Structure 1
Amino acid sequence: MTSEALLARVDGAIRDARAQLVSLSHDVHDYAEPSFAEHRAAARVRDELARAGFDVTETVADLPTAFTARFGSGDFVVGVCAEYDALPEIGHACGHNIIATAAVGAGIGLAAVADELGLTVEVVGCPAEEHGGGKVLMLERGCFDHHTVALMVHPATADADPATTFTQGVSRFAATFSGRAAHAAAAPTDGVNASDAAVVAQVAVGLLRQQLPATARVGLFVRDGGQATNIIPERTIVDFEVREFDLERLRDLSRRVHACFEAGALATGCTVEFEETEPEYAPLLQDARLARPFADAVRGLGRTVLDASDMTGGSTDMGNVSQYLPSIHPMIDVKGSGNPPHTRAFADDAAAPGGDEAAVDGAIAMARAIVEVASDPGVRRDLLAEQSARAPYATSAVATSVGTRS
């Protein structure tokens, strides 16, 4: 079968499924379940894949809302990542309903040509991208060890060339200051004020920002700062995160920010303890062998692909996957939106016609890219050779450099 015939079959299978894909996207959007609680969304996505003939396995990697769905038996194993967690209070303001739907659509399209291309298509249900690092946990537990490539698509306000799109790594922590309670009016000198320690730390972080490169980000908030005005607070908890585009710079930034919290403790006589609250998200690496055919496929759908090298900020646990095996995490435009993600307006747009079109076009573009890569003898040979030489994640050099938290 010619490449044109394969692409036509892929396109036809996805377009024939458009009605159920749009229904799936709207259902997941309505559920809007947060990280690790995506029970209805995961079940809805699994059921759609089962109806399409995929062999579904629930509760993988000891995660109740993670799953895999497989079709085919070829040596070229494609992992298509589905996300379906929502943000607290503002729902699918990152459009994960579109991500899940595009993954299902791409799976359906690739299943139509799996035999001809020697593919195994595996849609990987990945919980807790927003908070919790579902893909990191799945990586550490071997869920991506058998994949040749992995990919997903993310909604945005432009069709960005994946070759120019990168994300920051992020590390998240909680700092707990411990002091001594006292009556704030009758015996304030008997107290050791944990809230003051947090204030000193926040001032230190604010001053540090002047010395940081433009690529760095530091965010924080006081989660627990006391209970009453007439009690010197004996405990204060500050959640904070650091972001950078390079792992070495990320860890250096983390050390500098930790020192700000240690300074708060030293200045006030408190103690401070740190807890890593989520797995570290690594910076994203876009594989050029997948990025170019994806961008070409998007152009073939009548969209304009933009250089996104000036777009900075944001992190994803797909970065960890991309550090281990060839991957892409491209952006697709929600036409008519113009609203930035993580806003209520973008949540509305994710279930509007522009969101529906993004889900279907994203599915087609991913499937077309895989058809091109798997049909190219040289690229296919190289990718399979890399897979054969790759150690299981738990013993890989990537796991050592990024770190494991099983």
Structure 2
Amino acid sequence: MSISEKDTVRRRLMEMADERRDQAFSIADYIFQHPETSMKEYESSAYLAGVLRDEGFDVEYPYCGIDTAFKATKKNGDGPRICFLAEYDALPGSGHACGHQWIGTVSAMSGIVLADALKDFPGEVTVFGTPGEETGEGKPVMVEAGAFDGYNAALEIHGNYATTLAPVVVGIGGIDIEFFGKAAHAGEHPWYGKNALDAVIQLFNSINALRQQTMDGTRIHGIITNGGDEVNTVPAYTSARIEYRSQDQEYLEGLLKRIVACAEGAALATGCTMKWAHFEPTCEALITNPVLMELCRDHLPEFPELTESGIDFAGGASDTGNVSQVIPTFHPMIKMAQHGEGCHTEAFRDALLQPYAKERAIDSIKLLTEIGLDLLEDPELAYSLKVR
């Protein structure tokens, strides 16, 4: 295909994105009006799967044994395999204060628009419905099931207060720790007891000391979930919930061992016993594929409002990191909140209802479509992409 013919296809897709503006806004509005928390996105997932089915995609729903996950695919022979990651879970109490209605919409619409290029190029376009991002219960399960195996690239955007092409999306793990002591009357003979509250307090003291020796960017944060039942009784049982974060996946795994050692030391010092278990899947650190990032940077001048901000640290976590560990992935933060509103706030939720955010969503659909089209047009480039 000649350069002029390729340009014709690109113009057609960009015009298609503009022509379907109202469809994009309608999808986002539906998801926003039906906020559902992680792994309970029954209406949102069914709606998105239905939209893609109506567009001629082959849809598997439910998918990977997850009631609210789906896979929607269009294919034309053998060629590059490109997938988009759609999220749609809301936050408890504050609804779509993380803007996932736009993540789901942009990914679905990018898939719909890019799939039109399969008239001209061989390949495969898939939209994965990935539930439970806020709790990390969706993509890690799908990764383990091999859902993303064989895809050449995964694309997804996240709304933000500034545009950042390589955000530091850290890995995060979470564990519950329990301490078991021995009850005794706190006034009459406390020396017969083994104080599980002392153990949990010592745990937090040890973690506070550990923080001084951790790599920059590391975070450890926790709560006491049970501190005892009676003030006049030596507590026989206490528990804590700890989360830990790092931008380096190997370091994250080592950090877990150090936190568990703090708990073991606290139990030993107080004469208690302890046990621990993960309460959530580990979300791994995001690897931004440099080639996909440069493809994006090449197209960015077409969208003046998406100029890179120079901010490179987000500090949050996402299970998209798990996908990035197995296939080349691009997950930029895109400016959708006009006045600096930060994620997970009501101000951010409300900002993403404004006309500015809607226009940036259309820009994002076009941007992801252009990156996908670059790969369909150049199979050798698509096949050469590596995770690391």
Instruction: Provide Cα deviations, 1:158-217, integer angstroms capped at 9, x if missing partner.
Output: 111x2x433221121111111223344454333322222111111111122122222211
Give the gaps of 5 or more residues in structure 1.
391-397, 399-406
Q: 2:128 aligns with which of 118, 124, 141?
A: 124
In 1, are the aligned partners of 2:82 and 2:154 still within 8 Å (CA)? Answer: yes
Report whether the alignment pairs 1:50 with 2:53: yes
SS at structure 2 position matched to 1:117: coil
SS at structure 1 position matched to 2:313: coil
In 1, are the aligned partners of 2:180 and 2:272 still within 8 Å (CA)? Answer: yes
**Corresponding residue of 1:273:** 275
Structure 1 residue 330: Cα displacement? 0.9
In 2, are the aligned partners of 1:72 and 1:115 still within 8 Å (CA)? Answer: no
**Corresponding residue of 1:73:** 76
Instruction: Provide Cα deviations, 1:69-126, integer angstroms capped at 9, x if missing partner.
Output: 1122342211100011122222222211110010111011112112212131110000
Counterparts of 1:193 and 1:175 in 2: how far apart (Å)? Answer: 15
* Mapping for residues 358-369 of structure 1, pairs under 5 Å: 358-369=360-371
Structure 1 residue 248: Cα displacement? 2.1
* Mapping for residues 65-144 of structure 1, pairs under 5 Å: 65-74=68-77, 75-144=79-148
* Mapping for residues 305-320 of structure 1, pairs under 5 Å: 305-306=307-308, 308=310, 310-320=312-322
Once structures 1 and 2 are overlaid, which stretch shifts more, 104-113 or 354-363? 354-363
Task: Please give the root-mean-square deviation of Cα atoms over the aligned residues, in Å.
Answer: 2.1
* Mapping for residues 6-405 of structure 1, pairs under 5 Å: 6-74=9-77, 75-160=79-164, 162=165, 164-306=166-308, 308=310, 310-383=312-385
Structure 1 residue 68: Cα displacement? 0.6
In 1, are the aligned partners of 2:170 and 2:248 still within 8 Å (CA)? Answer: yes
Instruction: Provide Cα deviations, 1:41-74, integer angstroms capped at 9, x if missing partner.
Output: 1112112212222221101110001101112234
Counterparts of 1:186 and 1:193 in 2: how far apart (Å)? Answer: 15
SS at structure 2 position matched to 1:297: helix
Structure 1 residue 13: Cα displacement? 1.9
In 2, are the aligned partners of 1:215 and 1:312 still within 8 Å (CA)? Answer: no
In 1, are the aligned partners of 2:338 and 2:357 still within 8 Å (CA)? Answer: no
Instruction: Provide Cα deviations, 1:128-155, integer angstroms capped at 9, x if missing partner.
Output: 1111331111011121113121111111
Question: For the structure 1 residues 182 and 126, does the alpha-carbon distance in structure 2 shift closer, same or farther, using more than 3 Å as the test?
Answer: same
Counterparts of 2:136 and 2:329 in 1: how far apart (Å)? Answer: 21
Question: For the structure 1 residues 81 and 229, does the alpha-carbon distance in structure 2 shift closer, same or farther, using more than 3 Å as the test?
Answer: same
SS at structure 2 position matched to 1:303: helix
User: 2:254 is aligned with what amino acid?
Assistant: D
User: 1:5 is aligned with what amino acid?
Assistant: T
Structure 1 residue 365: Cα displacement? 0.7
In 2, are the aligned partners of 1:192 and 1:232 still within 8 Å (CA)? Answer: yes
Q: How many residues align?
A: 384
Question: For the structure 1 residues 348 and 230, does the alpha-carbon distance in structure 2 shift closer, same or farther, using more than 3 Å as the test?
Answer: farther
Counterparts of 1:14 and 1:227 in 2: how far apart (Å)? Answer: 59
Counterparts of 1:348 and 1:181 in 2: how far apart (Å)? Answer: 51
Structure 1 residue 304: Cα displacement? 4.0
